[in-house]
Structure 1
Amino acid sequence: MSLQSALIGFLISKMLPTPLSPQEIILVQATATATGTMPLAAGFVGILPALGLIDEERDGTPPIHLSWMAGIGWSCAVAFFGVFLSPPIRKQVIIEEELAFPSGTATAQLISVLHKLPPPDTSVRRRNGYQQIEDQEAGDDEDTLHSQETRPAEETTPLRDPEIVPSAGWHELVWSFFASALLTLAAYFFPVIFAIPIFGNYLAREWLWSFTPSFSYVGQGIIMGFPTTLSMNLGMLVGWGMLSPIAKFSGWAPGPVGDMTKGSRGWILWVCLAIMCADSLVSLLPVVWEFVVDIVVRMRHGSLAQAEDKGNGETETVDRLVPGRWVLFGFCASVAIGIFLVWLVFGHEGIKPAATFAGYIIGGFLSILAVRALGETDINPVSGLGKISQLFFAWIQPGNIVANIIAGGVAEAGAQQAGDLMQDLKTGHLLGAAPRALFYGQLIGSVVSIFVTTTAYSLYMRAYPIPGPSFPAPTAYVWLSFARLLRDGQLPPNSSIFMIIFAAIFGLVAALKFYATKKQIWWAKWIPSGVAFAIGFLNTPSFSIARLIGGILEHVFRTRYARSKGDIRLIVIASGFVLGEGVTSVVSLILRTFGIGVASCWGCGQSGICGGCSA
C-alpha cells in the first residue's frame, strides 16, 4: 500500500490550497498502510476462513463463524501488538544496521520525485534538529559535501525529467481507474469475462486452466515486478501443469481437481507448504545467526550499556521519538487486553489464556526475525513464521486445532504489522519525518481498520461464500491443513516424498539466492523465489497469468521506455488499475446484497468455473 498511498495522497493534496509537504505525505501513507494491513494481520483472508472450514466430525469441534461484534473483539486483540513492537526495533535495524527495506526506500524515492527533491540519502547523516552522531561521521559528511561542491552541476543534480512529475498525475490515474472499474463491473454482470477458457473448455472445466483478464491483477504484476511474477508462473506450471495431473492420474487425489480435500488442488497444497517452510527456514537462518553473533559480540565487549549511554547513534531528537514508557505500557496493555478479548471471543475451550500469552511472546521474537528478513530481502516470511508458531502450539496445547490456528494467527499478526510498519519508519528516516508522528498515524490507522475491515468482511460473508469461487481464500486451507497434520500426522497418499524433494530443492535455491544477494551478483534477482513459486501452487492459474502480463509490461517499460530511473508513469497506471477494481468490488457487493445478480451466464455453462454464476 505504501507506493499507492503516497501517490494518491500527493495527487489529492495538489487540490488543497496548501499542498502537503513530503513529511506529511509520509504520514498519510503510514496511516493508510496501518489501515490496509489489518485484513492480513488479523487473518481475515486466512485465519477466520480456516476456522469456518473446521469439520465437527473430523476435527471434534464445530466450525467457528464470528459475528460482527466478535470480529471487532478479535481485531482489537491483534490490532496494536505489532505497532508497539516497531519503535524499539527501529533503532537497531534502521539506525545501526541501516538495513535496506527496499519498499520503504522506494516510497521515499517516489515522494522525492513527486516533490522534485534530490534523491534521499540512504546513509545515516546529520540533519537540522538532529543530534550529533559521531565526530568521524561529521567529518565524512563535510568531505562528501566538499566533493559535491567541486563537481560540475550536471554530476550533482539528480537525473529528473521535468515532464515526468506533471504527467504522472490525474490523467493517467483517472483513465486507468475507469478502465479497470468498467471491466470489473462488466465482469460482474457477465462473469465469463473473468473466466476465459484460453486452452479450451475441457481444461478450463476439469483442470481449472482459465484466464482472468483483470486490470487489477495486471497492476499488481507491474508493482511486483517481472522476477517475482515469473517465479509465480513457474510454480503454476509445475504445480498445475505437472503435479496436479500426476496426482490425479495416479489415483492419489481421485476427487475433482479443485477439491481441497480429495482433489489434486488439496494434494499439491502440501508440496506448496513444504516449499514455503523450507524457503522461510533457510532464509531466516542467516538472519538468526547474524543476530545472535551480534548480541554475543556486544556482550563480550560490554558495548550494549555503552551504546545506551551514548544514545546508540540515534539521529532523532528526543521530542521526535516515541518514549520508551509509551512502548512498554502500550505493549503490556495490548497483550493483557488481547488475552482477555481472545478468551471472550473463543472461550476457554478454544484457547487457554496462558497459551494466548505464549502466542504473544513467541510473536514478539518472530517479529524481530520478520523485520530483519524484510529489511534485507523485502519479503516478510510471515507464512513460514506462522507455521513455526503452530509447531510450538502443537506442544503447548496438543490436539486442539482451534487453539493451534488462533495462536499461530496471534504470532503472525505481530510479525505482519511490525514488518509493514517498519517500511514506513524507513521512509520517514530517509526524508526526515518524525517517528512519533508516524507512530500516531499507525495507531489511528489501526483503530479505523478494526471497524472498516470487520464491517467489510461481514458484508462480503453475507453476499459470497468464503472460501468460494469468487473468494477462494487459499491460505485458509494452508492453516487448517497444517493444524490437522500436527494433530493427526496424516498426509495425502505419496505426498510426503514430493514434499521432501521440493523442500530440499528450494532449501538449496534459497541458500543460493541469499548468497548471490549478499555478494550483490547481478543474476541474484533471477533466482526463483521459493515463496513466490509456492504461491503459484496455492492460487489457480487464472490468478497468476494476468500478473505475469503485468510483470512483462514492467520489464519492457523499465528497460526500453522509461525516461529515467525516476519515471513513475507505469506505477501511476498500475495504481489506477488496482484502485479501480477495488472500488468497483464494493459496488458489486452492494448490488449483490440488494439481490441484483448477473445479467447473463452465457459461456459459463460450458466452463463451469464462473464465480458469479456458480455462487
Structure 2
Amino acid sequence: MAESGEMRDEQTKSLDDDDETTLEHAYLDTEVPSWRNQITVRSMVVSLILSVVFNFIVMKLNLTTGIIPSINVAAGLLGYAMLKTWTVAINKCGLLKQPFTRQENTVIQTCVVACAGIAFSSGTASYMLGMSGKIAAQADAGNTPINVKNLSLAWMIPFLLVVSFVGLFSIVPLRKMMILQYKLTYPSGTATANLINSFHTPKGAKQAKKQVRTLFKWGGLSFLWGMAQWFFAAADGCGFVNFPTFGLKAYAKKFYFDFSATYVGVGMICPYMVNVSLLLGAIISWGIMWPLIEAQKGHWYSADLSPTNLHGIQGYRVFIAIATILGDGLFQVVANAIYTCFKLVKGKQKKDELSSVIPVSTSDESHDANITRFDEQRRIEYFLKDQIPNWLAILGYVVLAVLSIIVVPLIFHQVRWYHMLLAYIVAPILAFCNAYGCGLSDWSLASNYGKLAILTFSAWVGMDHGGVLAGLATCGVMMNIVSTASDLMQDFKTGYLTLSSPRSMFFSQVCGTFMGCIMSPLVFWFFYKAYSVGDADGPYPAPYALMYRGIAVLGVEGFSSLPKHCLTLSICFFCASIAINALTHILKKYETKYRIYRFIPSPMCMAIPFYLGGYFAIDMCVGSLILYIWELRNKKEAEEFGPAVASGLICGDSLWGVPAAILSLAGVKAPLCLRVFSASTNDKVESVLGGS
C-alpha cells in the first residue's frame, strides 16, 4: 500500500509539474466511498420517485409510437437536480452527514434506467397487449380461446418477476472482457458518465445548475401546454392534437402537426437521419402506397372488410412493416454475430503478437502515456476492487432459469418446459451479441431477438395448441434477458468512468429491475383503465401490439393467410431492407471522403409510420429543425443545453398525462371542443343549428 501511495504521489507530482491534469487528478482529494455507502436510503428514494416519472414517459411513448429515446442522460440530470436540492437543504439545517458524490448520482441513474428499461422490455404495450382479446379481434386470425389471454395484474407481475432478473446474471462474468479488454465505448453510458463527472467537479457546478434550470423551465412550460390543450379536447376528434395543419385531405392521410411537446423533444434527441427516415416512410406508405392499394379494393381484397381487418388494407400496412423491420433486424443480428466473431479472433491474434514484442518508446511518448494512462489506471483499480464472483453469477443464472422453467408454463400452459429450456440455453449467446453490438453502436436489438423467438416458437407449437400465445410469451422471455443484459453492461461502463463500484451498479440494477417489474404493469394498468388502449383511432393505439400478434399469426398460419400480393410486396420490402443495410455497411467501411452513408435512411425507422401515419414524424422533424437552427446560431450552447430542453419537453408533457388520466378515470370532461370542418360540412352544421 505504501508503494502504491508513493507511485500515486509521483504521478501527481509529474502531472502538476507540467500543468497538465486529468479528470481523475481533479478528484484525487475527493474520497471514493465504499460500495455500501454509494447505495444510500436517499438515493433509493430519489430513484423511486424518478422511476415513477420515467415509467409514465416510457409507457406513453410505448402506447403511441413505440420510439423510445435514450433516457440515460435525462436520468443522470434529474437525479443530480433532485438529490443536490435535497443535500443543500439538509446542509443548511446542519444535518448533512454524507456529501453527495458522483458515485451516488450514478447509482440513481442506474436504478432509474433499469426500471424504465423494464417498462419497454416488459412488453405491456407490445407482446403482452398482443395477447388480449381486443387485439386478437383486430387481427381476426388466431382469435380463439387457446390463443387469447386476458390481461391481469395477477399474472403479469409474477411473469416479469421470474424472467426479468435472469439477464443480469447472464452477462456479469463478461464485464471485464467487455469494458477492459475490448474497451467498448457504450456511447450512452459514456455520455452519462461525462455528464455526471462534469456535475460534480468544481468547474462543472455552474454549468450543471444552468442545465437543471433549463430543464425545469421547459418542463414547466410543457406541462402548462399539455394542460391548455386538455381544455379544448372534450370529445374524440377535438383539440389541437387533431388540427388539420396541412389541410383536411392531408389530415385524412395522417399528415398533420399534432402539437405534441413530447415528440418535439424526442426529435431533438434522436439523430437527424432517424427523423428524416420516419418522414420518408410516412410519405412512401400513406402518401403513395396505401392510396394505390386502396384503389384495388374489391380486387385484391374484399370491399366488405373493416379498415382494421388484417385480411384487408390493414394486412398490407402491418405485414409490409413487419417484413421491413424483420429484414433490418435479421441483417443487424447476423452482421453483428459475424463482426463479433471476427473481432474476437482478431483480438486474440493481436494479443499473441503483442506478447512477443517488447515495446520501445521515446521519453515524449512515455510522458504522454503517463498523462493519458493516469485516469485509466485509477478507473481499473476501482473497477477491479469489488468483484462479483463468477460462480455466484453462474449459480444465479441457473437457479433463476430453473425457477422460470417451472413458473412460466404454469402461467402459459401453451408453453412447455422444454421450450423454456431451449430459450435459456440460447439466451446467453444472444445476450452477449446484443451487449457487444450495443457497446459498438449504442443500438439494442432486443426487440429483434424477441421477434425471432416469436416466429420460432409459434411455428413449433402450432395454431391448434396455442402457438400465437406461446410465441408471444417466449418473446417476452427472450426480450427481457437480452435487454437487461445490454442495459447492465452499459451501466458498468458508466460506473467504470465514475469510479462507481461494480457491486453498487449490480445492486442498483437489481433494485431498479424489481421496481420495474412492479411499477410497469401498474402504470400500464392506469392507462389501460383510463383510455381505450389499442384502439387504432384512439390517443393510445399501441401499434406494436398488433404487429407482434401479426408476427405470431404469420408463424402459425404461414403466408397463405395474407391478402393478395401482400406476400410479394412484403418480400420486396424485406429484401430492400437488407440491401439498404448492406449498402450502408459497405459505404461505412470503404467510403470515407464524403461519408455518404450518413444520408441513407434507416429501413426500421421507415417502417414504423407504415401503420401509424406521419403525424409524429412531423413533430420529430420539427424538433430536429429547432435543434438545427439552434446549432447554426450557437453550436456550443445547443450541444450543452439541447438535451436539457428536450428532456424538459418530454418530462413536462408526460407528467401532464398523470392528472389527465385521473380526470378521465373520474369521468371529468374538458369544457370545450376545438374542431375544424370543411366549408360544406360547416354549412350543414350551421343549417342544423339555425333550424333548431
TM-score for both structures, normalised by structure 1 = 0.83
Pair 1:49–1:426, CA change in 2 (3 A):
same
| Residue 218 of structure 1: how far off its partner (Å) | 0.7
Q: Secondary structure in 2 aligned to 1:168?
A: helix
- Of the three residues 401, 404, 417, the one matched with 1:353 is 417
| Residue 519 of structure 1: how far off its partner (Å) | 5.7
2:684 is the alignment partner of 1:601: no
* C-alpha separation in 2, matches of 1:341 and 1:185: 44
- Of the three residues 487, 508, 517, the one matched with 2:556 is 487
* C-alpha separation in 1, matches of 2:600 and 2:623: 19
2:573 is the alignment partner of 1:573: no
Q: Is the 8 A contact 1:466 1:472 kept in 2?
A: yes
Q: Deviation per CA, 1:94-150, whole angstroms, max 9, x where unpaired? A: 2222222221122122223333489xxxxxxxxxxxxxxxxxxxxxxxxxxxxxxxx
2:184 is the alignment partner of 1:99: yes
Q: Deviation per CA, 1:266-293, whole angstroms, max 9, x where unpaired? A: 4122221121111122222232113334
Amino acid paired to 2:386: R
* C-alpha separation in 1, matches of 2:265 and 2:611: 20
* C-alpha separation in 1, matches of 2:431 and 2:142: 33
2:53 is the alignment partner of 1:7: no
Q: Is the 8 A contact 1:274 1:503 kept in 2?
A: yes
- Of the three residues 370, 381, 398, the one matched with 1:332 is 398
| Residue 355 of structure 1: how far off its partner (Å) | 1.3
* C-alpha separation in 2, matches of 1:213 and 1:564: 25
User: In the alignment, what sits opposite 1:553?
Assistant: 626
Which residues in structure 2 correspond to 1:35-434 (within 5 Å)?
35-52=115-132, 53-55=135-137, 58-61=142-145, 63-116=148-201, 164-170=207-213, 172-191=214-233, 192-204=239-251, 206-251=252-297, 252=300, 254=303, 259=308, 261-262=310-311, 264-293=313-342, 318-346=384-412, 348=413, 350-399=414-463, 400-434=467-501
* C-alpha separation in 2, matches of 1:113 and 1:526: 33
Q: Deviation per CA, 1:443-485, whole angstroms, max 9, x where unpaired? A: 0011111221121122222112221212111111111111111
Q: Deviation per CA, 1:198-227, whole angstroms, max 9, x where unpaired? A: 2323443x4333332111111111111212
* C-alpha separation in 2, matches of 1:510 and 1:57: 32
Q: Deviation per CA, 1:291-347, whole angstroms, max 9, x where unpaired? A: 3345667899998xx9xxxxxx9765654232212211221222222233322322x
Amino acid paired to 1:280: G
User: In the alignment, what sits opposite 2:664?
Assistant: 592
Q: Is the 8 A contact 1:207 1:257 kept in 2?
A: no
Pair 1:257–1:219, CA change in 2 (3 A):
farther
* C-alpha separation in 2, matches of 1:530 and 1:422: 27
| Residue 604 of structure 1: how far off its partner (Å) | 7.2
Worse overlay, 269-278 or 59-68: 59-68
- Of the three residues 109, 113, 116, the one matched with 1:29 is 109
Pair 1:480–1:96, CA change in 2 (3 A):
same
| Residue 402 of structure 1: how far off its partner (Å) | 0.6
Q: Is the 8 A contact 1:230 1:551 kept in 2?
A: no
* C-alpha separation in 1, matches of 2:591 and 2:173: 29
Pairwise CA RMSD: 3.0
| Residue 578 of structure 1: how far off its partner (Å) | 1.0
Which residues in structure 2 correspond to 1:490-529 (within 5 Å)?
490-518=561-589, 521=592, 522-529=595-602
* C-alpha separation in 1, matches of 2:227 and 2:454: 40
User: In the alignment, what sits opposite 1:449?
Assistant: 516
* C-alpha separation in 1, matches of 2:101 and 2:289: 53
Amino acid paired to 2:183: E
Pair 1:518–1:87, CA change in 2 (3 A):
farther
Amino acid paired to 1:179: L
- Of the three residues 502, 524, 532, the one matched with 1:435 is 502
Q: Deviation per CA, 1:23-57, whole angstroms, max 9, x where unpaired? A: 22111111000110112111111011100122487
- Of the three residues 512, 530, 533, the one matched with 1:463 is 530
Q: Secondary structure in 2 aligned to 1:47?
A: coil
Worse overlay, 469-478 or 53-62: 53-62
* C-alpha separation in 2, matches of 1:176 and 1:351: 48
Pair 1:210–1:341, CA change in 2 (3 A):
farther
* C-alpha separation in 2, matches of 1:290 and 1:200: 48
Q: Is the 8 A contact 1:6 1:26 kept in 2?
A: yes
- Of the three residues 612, 621, 626, the one matched with 1:539 is 612
Amino acid paired to 2:566: S
* C-alpha separation in 2, matches of 1:32 and 1:209: 35
* C-alpha separation in 1, matches of 2:480 and 2:676: 39
| Residue 591 of structure 1: how far off its partner (Å) | 1.2
TM-score for both structures, normalised by structure 2 = 0.74
Q: Is the 8 A contact 1:180 1:577 kept in 2?
A: yes
Q: Deviation per CA, 1:42-76, whole angstroms, max 9, x where unpaired? A: 11110111001224874432631222221211221
| Residue 265 of structure 1: how far off its partner (Å) | 4.3
Pair 1:27–1:260, CA change in 2 (3 A):
farther
Amino acid paired to 1:541: G
Pair 1:548–1:321, CA change in 2 (3 A):
farther
* C-alpha separation in 2, matches of 1:314 and 1:19: 24
Which entry has the higher C-alpha Rg, 1 or 2? 2
* C-alpha separation in 1, matches of 2:485 and 2:277: 26
* C-alpha separation in 2, matches of 1:271 and 1:342: 32
| Residue 442 of structure 1: how far off its partner (Å) | 0.4
Q: Secondary structure in 1 aligned to 2:564?
A: coil
Q: Is the 8 A contact 2:128 2:472 kept in 1?
A: no
* C-alpha separation in 2, matches of 1:299 and 1:178: 53
Q: Deviation per CA, 1:481-522, whole angstroms, max 9, x where unpaired? A: 111111111222212222222222221221222234456844
Q: Is the 8 A contact 1:13 1:19 kept in 2?
A: no
What is the identity percentage for the equivalent residue pairs of Structure 1 and Structure 2?
24
Q: Deviation per CA, 1:75-97, whole angstroms, max 9, x where unpaired? A: 21222122222322333332222
* C-alpha separation in 1, matches of 2:345 and 2:437: 20
Amino acid paired to 2:267: G
* C-alpha separation in 2, matches of 1:90 and 1:443: 16
* C-alpha separation in 2, matches of 1:5 and 1:559: 28
Q: Is the 8 A contact 2:454 2:471 kept in 1?
A: yes
Q: Is the 8 A contact 1:54 1:61 kept in 2?
A: no
Q: Is the 8 A contact 2:273 2:599 kept in 1?
A: yes
Worse overlay, 484-493 or 33-42: 484-493
Q: Is the 8 A contact 1:222 1:574 kept in 2?
A: yes
* C-alpha separation in 1, matches of 2:581 and 2:350: 33
Q: Is the 8 A contact 2:253 2:613 kept in 1?
A: no
* C-alpha separation in 2, matches of 1:301 and 1:516: 26
> Aligned pairs, how many?
553
Q: Secondary structure in 2 aligned to 1:177?
A: helix
User: In the alignment, what sits opposite 2:26?
Assistant: none
* C-alpha separation in 1, matches of 2:202 and 2:179: 22
User: In the alignment, what sits opposite 2:236?
Assistant: none
Structure 2 unaligned segments of length 5 or more: list them: 1-70, 92-97, 234-238, 356-378, 682-692
Q: Is the 8 A contact 1:211 1:543 kept in 2?
A: yes
Pair 1:256–1:227, CA change in 2 (3 A):
farther
